[in-house]
Structure 1
Amino acid sequence: MKDAGVLETRLIDIGYEKFASDVWGRTALLTRGVGDFSDLFSADAVDELISRRGLRTPFLRVAKGGSTLPESSFTSPAGVGATISDQLDDTQLWRKFADGATLVLQALHRTWEPVSSFSTQLSTELGHPVQANAYITPPQNRGFDDHYDVHDVFVLQIEGTKRWIIHEPVHVDPLRSQPWTDRRSAVAEAAQGKAYIDTVLEPGDVLYLPRGWLHAAEAQGKVSIHLTLGVHSWTRHALAEHLAQAALAALCDDPEVRRSLPLGVDGPDEEIAAVRERLAAAVLEADTTSLFHRTRRGQGRPAPLGPVAQLAALDGLGPESLVRLREALEARLEGSRLTTRVGWLDFPEANLPSVRRLLDGEPHLASDLGVELVERLLRAGVLVTAEL
């Protein structure tokens, strides 16, 4: 039986199957006291990232009174030895925070390792890309007015408390091209109605919201820190886009479709039937699998790879070396070609059984796979030592 993942053990208390059938993409879910999230993020992590890591925009934005402040108001040059003009200015950020502004640390799946690992695990379980932001709000303040997101979110309350007011959608399942600002008046009107959820989140609570659900949040008596895991859902519309792209690419090889319309044509009516017929046939024949996986690979990054540690693994490689597939590679073997987020490799027939074994993600002895093959894959950044 497959072990429970981070969704079941850390974000919900109803089980994966029930969440998938009754909640995912359908309704909001509030889960109380799931656990302690201090291993993922904390106030100390906020201070570390802002004051010591040399972060630049857009890894942080600042909001107050429902508006985002200009980046120039909280960035400055990096000083001697670094020709960078937009690093975070911790003094300016402190002043704005003390004045009631919310600090938003963006893309923590790129800058904070515990959040990165957690986001990668969740993305693997859900089958959809996951990003992570943290919202740090002073007492009795809110950063943003009522709005909806175009991605699903899990809200993890880290420190302090925050009141959340949730309303049902005015536009169900919005696409990324359909932001809340396109329906500003409808959102404002709906926000005046009876709330679906009106509650205060405490540390350890988790709130799940499908895309399109209206929300606003306000810190209570202490500084509030919450982590938002944004799930950028694959949709049927996205698959339709890929299908259309593949069909149009195929029609490039159809001389009848490439042909110019007749001179003097007054409109498409005379030609549209023939084009529709050929387009429909191309859609039926189109194989979007490769395009889907190529796009999916481009939406994430593989697990971190340390160049010094990887060189040491190469120098120490021997028959007893234990290696495994690098995590989050989105590796797929298509025929004799291995495609990953770090490129592709072609293999002779004799290597394919060993490559297939590696795709299980488990540790393997170099002697069982072939030391030369392991060396090639270590150099390509596809394998790492099992101890890494």
Structure 2
Amino acid sequence: MSILEQLLAPMTLSDFSTNHLYREPYAAPEKAAFLRKSLSWNTLDEILFTGHKNCWLPRQGQLPTDENLNTGQLTFSQARKGFIEGRTVLVRHAEQAHPVFAAIARDFYRLFKAPIDVQLYCTPEGQEGFDWHYDYEDVFVIQSHGEKEFRLRKNSVNPGASLRKESQAEDLRKETNRAEIRCYLKPGDWLYIPAGYWHKALALTDSYHISVGVLRGKSSSSPY
């Protein structure tokens, strides 16, 4: 049974594809409990020790002014210090740096036949890594530790993120849809966010989550 099938059960892949995939957000409590221990500071230490070159310290979408922290490589001490100072520790393409996330990426690839990007977010209490934004990929958020509030809004300006843009600032100014969905995630919960949906997340406690991104394209397909 695939990871997604375990996350969905008893819902079937067919029902998820028909009612939610590429359309509407979906969340389920406790269904990701088997992945809770996948992300920790020990895991981050293992990744940073490899010299992985896609590690960052954003806060509200802004990186530190210190150029030494903007190379894409971080030491464990730099990551911990940034976290203590209120920054999110973000690892992009974690599937390239750790076998646990490589296995998760392979599992999702077998279903979607599309590029997979596994990202890791460790955010301190009361902080947001990014302000309102949308992604060009469908995202499966797996809450590993702590609690986080996600706020989501439908995108009426660039639905489905069909157009690639250098900046989303103008889209956000033009967006007239103010109706929000709020989703509270605890350890073991998960959330699906379709490509194009506006969202941002607030850490209600120190929070760690895994984000599995599925990039839409000509080669991607429905898992059922």
Report TM bin, short chain.
0.7 to 0.9
> What is the CA–CA distance in structure 2 between the aligned matches of 1:215 and 1:208, rounded to whole Å?
11
Match of 2:211 in 1: 228
Match of 1:46 in 2: 44
Does the CA-based 8 Å contact 1:54-1:88 persist in structure 2? no
Q: What secondary structure, in the 3-state scheme, does the structure 1 residue paired with 2:202 have?
A: strand
Does the CA-based 8 Å contact 1:75-1:89 persist in structure 2? no
- CA gap of 1:174–1:150, structure 2 versus 1, over 3 A, is same
How many residues align? The count is 218
Gaps of 5+ in 1: 77-85, 236-291, 297-388
Does the CA-based 8 Å contact 1:158-1:203 persist in structure 2? yes
The question of 1:64 aligning with 2:36 is answered no
Match of 2:179 in 1: 194
User: Residue 134 of structure 1 is aligned with which of 98, 120, 125?
Assistant: 120
Cα distance, 1:102 vs. partner?
0.6
Q: What secondary structure, in the 3-state scheme, does the structure 2 residue paired with 1:67 have?
A: coil
Task: Write the letter of the residue equivalent to 2:179.
Answer: K
Cα distance, 1:188 vs. partner?
4.7
Cα distance, 1:68 vs. partner?
2.7
> What is the CA–CA distance in structure 2 between the aligned matches of 1:97 and 1:192, rounded to whole Å?
33
Does the CA-based 8 Å contact 2:134-2:161 persist in structure 1? no
- CA gap of 1:54–1:61, structure 2 versus 1, over 3 A, is same
Cα distance, 1:191 vs. partner?
8.3
Q: What secondary structure, in the 3-state scheme, does the structure 1 residue paired with 2:161 have?
A: coil
User: Residue 110 of structure 1 is aligned with which of 96, 102, 118?
Assistant: 96
Q: Which structure's residues are more often helix, by fraction?
A: 1
- CA gap of 1:46–1:176, structure 2 versus 1, over 3 A, is farther
Match of 2:86 in 1: 100
User: Residue 149 of structure 2 is aligned with which of 163, 187, 209?
Assistant: 163
Match of 1:331 in 2: none
Cα distance, 1:193 vs. partner?
1.9
User: Residue 203 of structure 2 is aligned with which of 198, 219, 224?
Assistant: 219
The question of 1:143 aligning with 2:129 is answered yes
Cα distance, 1:145 vs. partner?
0.1
Does the CA-based 8 Å contact 1:148-1:213 persist in structure 2? yes
TM-score by length of 1: 0.52
> What is the CA–CA distance in structure 1 between the aligned matches of 2:10 and 2:123, rounded to whole Å?
27
Higher RCO (CA-CA < 8 Å; seq separation 6+): 2
Does the CA-based 8 Å contact 1:8-1:16 persist in structure 2? yes
Q: What secondary structure, in the 3-state scheme, does the structure 2 residue paired with 1:204 have?
A: coil
Q: What secondary structure, in the 3-state scheme, does the structure 2 residue paired with 1:24 have?
A: coil
Mapping for residues 1-388 of structure 1, pairs under 5 Å = 4-11=1-8, 13-36=10-33, 37-50=35-48, 53-57=49-53, 59-69=54-64, 72-74=67-69, 87-170=73-156, 171-175=158-162, 177-178=164-165, 181-182=167-168, 184-188=169-173, 190=175, 193-195=178-180, 197-220=181-204, 222-235=205-218
> What is the CA–CA distance in structure 2 between the aligned matches of 1:230 and 1:161, rounded to whole Å?
21
Cα distance, 1:194 vs. partner?
2.5
Does the CA-based 8 Å contact 1:13-1:31 persist in structure 2? no
- CA gap of 1:68–1:203, structure 2 versus 1, over 3 A, is same
- Identical residues among aligned pairs (%): 22
Does the CA-based 8 Å contact 1:146-1:191 persist in structure 2? no
Gaps of 5+ in 2: none
> What is the CA–CA distance in structure 2 between the aligned matches of 1:133 and 1:176, rounded to whole Å?
22
> What is the CA–CA distance in structure 2 between the aligned matches of 1:23 and 1:93, rounded to whole Å?
36
> What is the CA–CA distance in structure 2 between the aligned matches of 1:189 and 1:175, rounded to whole Å?
16
> What is the CA–CA distance in structure 2 between the aligned matches of 1:216 and 1:89, rounded to whole Å?
27
> What is the CA–CA distance in structure 2 between the aligned matches of 1:191 and 1:95, rounded to whole Å?
39
Q: What secondary structure, in the 3-state scheme, does the structure 2 residue paired with 1:124 have?
A: helix
- CA gap of 1:75–1:55, structure 2 versus 1, over 3 A, is farther
> What is the CA–CA distance in structure 2 between the aligned matches of 1:142 and 1:152, rounded to whole Å?
20
Match of 1:270 in 2: none
